Structure 1
Amino acid sequence: MTATVRWGVLGAAAIATGRTMPAMREAPSATLVALASRDPAKGRRVAQEFAIPRVHATYEALLADPEVDAVYVPLPNQLHFEWSLRALQAGKHVLCEKPLCISSEQVQRLCAARDRSGRHIEEAFAFRNHPQWAKLAGIIAAGTIGDVRAVHATLAKQFFDPADVRNQLEAGGGALYDLGSYAISACNLVFGRPPARVVAALERDPAFGIDRLSSALLDYGDRHAAFTVGTQAGSDAWGTHQQFSVLGSRGWLRMNFPFAHARPTACQIEVGDAGSVGAFPSATFSFEPANHYLLQVERFSRRLLGDAVPGWPIEDALDTMRTIEALFASARQGAWQDVASCTALPASAPAT
Structure 2
Amino acid sequence: MKLNWGVLGAAKIAREKVIPSMAHHPDFQVLGLASRSLEKAKATAAALGILKAYGSYEELIADPDIHIIYNPLPNHLHVEYTLKCIEAGKHVLCEKPIALTAADVEKLIEARNRKGVVVGEAFMVRSHPQWIKAREMVQGGVLGKVTLVQGQFSYFNANPDNIRNIEAYGGGALWDIGCYPLNTTRFVLGEEPLRVAALLDFDSEFGTDVLSSVLLQFPSAQLQFSVSTQLVPHQRMQFFGQQKSLEILIPFNAPKDRPCLLRLNDGDIFREKEEVLETPLSDQYRLQAEAFTKAVLKGGEAPVPLEDALANTRALEAIFRAAKEGRWVEIPR
TM-score interval, smaller chain:
over 0.9
Q: Secondary structure at the match of 2:142?
A: coil
2:65 to 67, 74, 94: 67
Counterpart residue identity of residue 245, structure 2: W
Q: 169-178 or 307-316: which moved more?
A: 307-316
Q: 1:116 to 1:286 in 2, by over 3 A?
A: same
Is the counterpart of residue 256 in structure 1 residue 254 in structure 2? no
Mapping for residues 82-231 of structure 1, pairs under 5 Å: 82-231=80-229
Q: 311-320 or 94-103: which moved more?
A: 311-320
- Equivalence for 1:349: none
1:256–1:267 Cα contact (<8 Å) kept: yes
Is the counterpart of residue 294 in structure 1 residue 292 in structure 2? no
Q: 304-313 or 262-271: which moved more?
A: 304-313
Q: 90-99 or 27-36: which moved more?
A: 27-36
Displacement of 1:310 after TM fit?
Answer: 7.5
2:37–2:56 Cα contact (<8 Å) kept: no
Q: 1:325 to 1:185 in 2, by over 3 A?
A: same
Is the counterpart of residue 272 in structure 1 residue 274 in structure 2? no
For residues 79 and 310 of structure 1, the distance between their equivalents in structure 2, rounded to whole angstroms, comes to: 21
Q: 1:222 to 1:48 in 2, by over 3 A?
A: closer
Displacement of 1:142 after TM fit?
Answer: 2.6
Unaligned runs of 5+ in 1: 236-240, 342-352
Q: 1:265 to 1:77 in 2, by over 3 A?
A: farther
Displacement of 1:50 after TM fit?
Answer: 2.2
- Equivalence for 2:55: 57
Displacement of 1:6 after TM fit?
Answer: 0.6
For residues 125 and 262 of structure 1, the distance between their equivalents in structure 2, rounded to whole angstroms, comes to: 15
For residues 36 and 49 of structure 1, the distance between their equivalents in structure 2, rounded to whole angstroms, comes to: 14
Is the counterpart of residue 305 in structure 1 residue 293 in structure 2? no
Q: 1:264 to 1:293 in 2, by over 3 A?
A: farther
For residues 52 and 262 of structure 1, the distance between their equivalents in structure 2, rounded to whole angstroms, comes to: 24
Is the counterpart of residue 10 in structure 1 residue 8 in structure 2? yes
Q: Secondary structure at the match of 2:100?
A: coil
The superposition leaves residues 164-210 of structure 1 with CA deviations (integer Å, 9 ceiling, x where unpaired) of: 11100011000000010111101111221221100000001111110
Q: Secondary structure at the match of 1:243?
A: strand
Counterpart residue identity of residue 62, structure 2: A
The superposition leaves residues 247-270 of structure 1 with CA deviations (integer Å, 9 ceiling, x where unpaired) of: 112211110001123664432111
For residues 169 and 262 of structure 1, the distance between their equivalents in structure 2, rounded to whole angstroms, comes to: 30
Counterpart residue identity of residue 278, structure 1: I
For residues 61 and 331 of structure 1, the distance between their equivalents in structure 2, rounded to whole angstroms, comes to: 42
Counterpart residue identity of residue 34, structure 1: G
Counterpart residue identity of residue 140, structure 1: V
- Equivalence for 1:43: 41
In the superposition, the TM-score normalised over structure 2's length comes to 0.95
For residues 302 and 257 of structure 2, the distance between their equivalents in structure 1, rounded to whole angstroms, comes to: 21
Q: Secondary structure at the match of 2:219?
A: coil
**Structure 1 stretches of 4+ moved >6 Å:** 307-310
1:27–1:294 Cα contact (<8 Å) kept: no
Q: Secondary structure at the match of 1:181?
A: helix
Q: Percent identity?
A: 36
Q: Secondary structure at the match of 2:65?
A: coil
- Equivalence for 2:31: 33
Unaligned runs of 5+ in 2: none
- Equivalence for 1:318: 310
- CA-based RMSD: 1.8
1:84–1:94 Cα contact (<8 Å) kept: yes
Counterpart residue identity of residue 223, structure 1: A
Q: 1:193 to 1:305 in 2, by over 3 A?
A: same
Counterpart residue identity of residue 158, structure 1: F
Counterpart residue identity of residue 246, structure 2: L
- Equivalence for 2:327: 335
Displacement of 1:160 after TM fit?
Answer: 1.2
Q: 1:4 to 1:279 in 2, by over 3 A?
A: farther
2:32–2:53 Cα contact (<8 Å) kept: yes
The superposition leaves residues 104-153 of structure 1 with CA deviations (integer Å, 9 ceiling, x where unpaired) of: 11111111111111111111111111111111122123311112211111
- Equivalence for 1:243: 236
